[in-house]
Structure 1
Amino acid sequence: MTKLNRRTFGKLVLGAGVAAPFHFTRTAIAQPKPGDELVVGIWGGTQERIVRSLIEPQLVDKYGCTVSYVLGGTGERRARAYAERGRPSFDIVYLNIYESRQAVTDGVTQAPTDAVPNYEHLYDAAKIGGYGVAFNPCTLVYKGEKASSPITSWEDLFNEEWAGRFAAPTLPGMQGMAALLMLAKTYGGDEFNVDVGFEKLAELKPFAAIQTSAESAWQMFEQDIADITVEFGSLAQRAKESTNPEIVIADPTEGMCAAMNFACITTGAPNQVLAEEWINLHLSPEVMQEYMREAYYSPTVDNVEIPEDLAGKIMTPEQVENLVAFDWEHIAAQQAAWSSRFTREIAG
């Protein structure tokens, strides 16, 4: 594990094989023609609405193509992409930070290149798998009215006031992975020694509940079932402003767990040029601004300004560099085993 500094991620990018200049590696690819259909696998809700309203119309107007969507959770999308490896029905699949790096290694998706012009504006951290489109770190989130003092450490989760009030995020899932990894880090372990993370999770039992999504967590807060969980900071900020003003987003001294959404082009994508154009539009300042306003996602490119009215809600480049990163490829390889262990030892 490490911080998201440029030197570290420069090494990761080189290891991922994306350093070679595009003009040395790309072969001739057929140009789009009217009627071509781009297939995009993405989450529903806010993200779907943004890409439908801002990206799809520009692509359709320019090429006369159509766009179809496969909506749902990351797990289903990833499983389908792997099942179709070498003969993909997706052109673009959106994955999380650790799944995107593994998908490149497994030949399911392509490493990022400067065939996408806005690649040059991506932070190094956003080049480790596909094309990072949103920073969205995970941290402790709690009901401020229930706290005797602000949470400043992951160790505070074990304070008596939270006993029996923790909504444990499930594995697989980025929130559950963040809880496991950050507890391991806080108590002397890391991604290569997660036993301590499992042990500390077990110490928090009995849980108020097992939560499977941010929506379920906020419902538990509102219904007084639970008072604290691990969630995406952006989703917590949105909930704080829309439904539960008592929500507090912790900034622990040990750090927040890095998390990011990636747009990935499948290996053998039927519509390579359309896919590159789609991602280039996604990385444009216009779309980044909309992501900030609608989802509080922090930008992954260095050529967009954070609006003054969003200051304190969107991560600055300095804050991004202080996120805690782990060996995501190792984590992806261990995901199935850790998920099974979570079911046996923690959820039961």
Structure 2
Amino acid sequence: MKTPRHVRLLFTLLPLSLAAAQAQKTTLVVSGFGIAQDKIEKNIAKPFEAVCGCNVVFEVGNNADRLAKLTARKANPNVDVVLLADYFAKQASNQGLFEKLDTAQLSNYGKLYDFARDPLKDGTAVAFTVYSVSIVYRTDKITKPITSWKDLWRPELAGKVALPNITTTQGPPTVWLVNRAYGGKDSDASAAFGQLGKLKVLTYYNQSSQVTSLFAQDEIWAAPVGRFAWGGLLNTKKPLAWARLSDGQAGLVNVASVVKGSKNVALAHKFIDFMLSTPVQTAQALDLVDSPVNKQVKLPAAVANQLTVGVSQVAGLRFMDTSYVLTNRDNWIQRWNREVVK
């Protein structure tokens, strides 16, 4: 029995029609960190694709490299949404690389902590995660708990400390809080650089994975660390504690913005709103990827203890103004290289 010609033609055209439908799908390009990307695909990218009927493609890298790419392509951007640490985002905003956010398109905006709603103070970003910076230490090596930034200078810690490099996101808040601990004023960080130059440091790290390895190999006993690394540090099975510092823990945020010139501004807003939703923020927290900025997220105590979560924890953080960081960053890098690393 011969297949009718019109049926044969239908089967011939069907793959072409499906391919055309695929080709017509909008692609949203997101510039991100590349950390825990498998979890981000599971919790954010794939579920959003199912909702929007679009494709989500991530371009990943560190803050500095991705900011440089955004700057280079300012006239013809190939990214729609960018995720950056707050003061890298402030640099981008100052260069006119971001659209103003239309918060009316963000249905989850009202669920955010106040600090997350306009972290750059110019209407171009929302925070999607928060983390603290404090000191992690070995409780079997340091019997008296660390309770101050000054405790890094204890004699028994000589040569057993790792510091974040000044060009990392943890570097500037470490300088800032050490300066305050030693009585310095924000207008002059000499107290911090004077003390940091005397500190006997094993190494200066650029990535949190380096700190994890150093603790795992018993090479260091203490280090200033971002809370996002806490889960990995616990996996070393070493007896570690997160210091509750009387002179303060720094609070930092990572932010989401729509790139100026994006051809998918409305879709970019939908993606950011999706990231801020209670289910997504909960899923990211349960996987220990990000601490939530959505106040409606509820977590088991065992999970919450590994993150920066809750009104009481957030209220105890000290946030640096992004403009303050940018004003001082170049000078601090020069002083760091001259007075600390030597």
Give me the TM-score of the superposition, normalised by structure 2. 0.85
- What is the DSSP-based 3-state SS (H/G/I as helix, E as strand, rest coil) of the residue aligned with 1:280? helix
Question: Is 1:220 matched with 2:214?
Answer: yes
Paired residue type of 1:53: K
Which of 190, 198, 223 is the aligned partner of 1:195? 190
| 1:149-298 matched pairs, under 5 angstroms | 149-205=144-200, 207-240=201-234, 242-295=235-288, 297-298=290-291
- DSSP-derived class of the 1:231 partner: strand
Aligned mate of 1:59, from 26, 48, 51:
48
Counterpart for residue 329 of structure 1: 323
Q: Equivalents in 1 of 2:75, 2:190: separation in Å?
A: 36
| Contact 2:39–2:289 (CA under 8 A) maintained in structure 1 | no
SS of structure 2 residue aligned to 1:258:
strand
Tell me the secondary structure at the aligned position of residue 188 of structure 1. Answer: coil
Are 1:144 and 2:133 counterparts?
A: no
Structure 1's 138 and 282: CA in aligned 2 closer, same or farther, altered over 3 A?
same
Corresponding residue number in structure 2 for 1:118: 108
Post-superposition offset of 1:39: 1.0
Do structure 1's residue 343 and structure 2's residue 332 form an aligned pair?
A: no
- 2: CA distance, partners of 1:116 / 1:73: 27
Contact 1:191 1:327 in 2 (8 A): no
State whether structure 2 residue 95 is matched by structure 1 residue 128: no
Cα distance in 2 between the residues matched to 1:308 and 1:151: 23
Cα shift at 1:248 = 1.3
SS at match of 2:249: coil
Q: What's the offset of the Cα at 1:190?
A: 4.2
The 3-state SS of whatever aligns with 2:175 is helix
Match of 1:90 among 79, 98, 101: 79
CA distance in structure 2 between the partners assigned to 1:217 and 1:301 by the alignment = 29
Return the alpha-carbon distance in structure 2 between the equivalents of residues 224 and 199 of structure 1. 28
Q: Which residue of 2 aligns with 1:22?
A: none
TM-score normalised to structure 1 length: 0.84
SS in 1 for 2:329: helix
Conserved? CA contact 2:215–2:236, under 8 Å: no
How far apart are 1:184 and its partner, in Å? 0.9
Q: Can you list the C-alpha shifts for 1:119-141, whole angstroms capped at 9, x where unaligned?
A: 22121111213121111111111
- Closer/same/farther in 2, CA of residues 310 and 302 from structure 1, 3 Å limit: same
Q: Does the C-alpha gap of structure 1 residues 345 and 223 become closer, same or farther in structure 2, counting only changes over 3 Å?
A: same
Contact kept? 1:38, 1:65, Cα under 8 Å: yes
Q: Is 1:73–2:67 an aligned residue pair?
A: no
Shift of 1:170: 0.5
Tell me whether 1:109 sits opposite 2:98 in the alignment.
Answer: yes
Task: Look at both structures and tell me which one has the larger radius of gyration over its CA atoms.
Answer: 2
**How much does 1:86 deviate?**
4.3
After superposition, the Cα gap between the structure-2 partners of 1:309 and 1:97, relative to the gap in structure 1 and judged at 3 Å, is: same
Deviation digits for residues 220-260 of structure 1 (CA, Å, limit 9, x no counterpart): 122232211111123124321x1233121111011111111
- Structure 2 distance, partners of 1:35, 1:202, is 55
Q: Which runs of 4+ in 1 moved over 4 A?
A: none
Match of 1:312 among 305, 311, 314: 305
Which of the pair has the greater relative contact order for Cα pairs under 8 Å at 6+ separation?
A: 1
Equivalent position of 2:3 in the other structure = none
Once residues 79 and 52 of structure 2 are traced to their aligned partners in structure 1, the CA distance between those partners, rounded to angstroms, is: 18
State whether residues 86 and 108 of structure 1, in contact with CA within 8 Å, keep that contact through their aligned partners in structure 2: no
Give the length in aligned residue pairs: 313
* Residues 34 and 64, structure 1, Cα contact 8 Å, conserved in 2: no
Alignment of 1:19-58 (within 5 A): 34-46=24-36, 48-58=37-47
Contact 2:249 2:318 in 1 (8 A): yes
Query: Does the 8 Å contact 1:98/1:329 carry over to 2?
Result: yes
**What is the root-mean-square deviation of aligned Cα atoms in Å?**
2.0
Moved more, 307-316 or 171-180: 307-316
Contact 2:173 2:320 in 1 (8 A): no
Q: Over residues 82-107 of structure 1, what are the superposed CA-to-partner deviations in whole Å (9 max), with x where a residue is unaligned?
A: 22234322111111122223433332
Aligned-residue identity in percent: 25
Question: What does the per-residue CA deviation read over 1:144-176, in whole Å, with 9 as the maximum and x for residues that have no partner?
Answer: 111030101111111111112111211211111
Give the Cα–Cα distance (whole angstroms) in 1 for the partners of residues 224 and 100 of structure 2.
30
Post-superposition CA distance 1:54-100 (Å, at most 9, x none): 32223323443222211111111122222223432211111112222
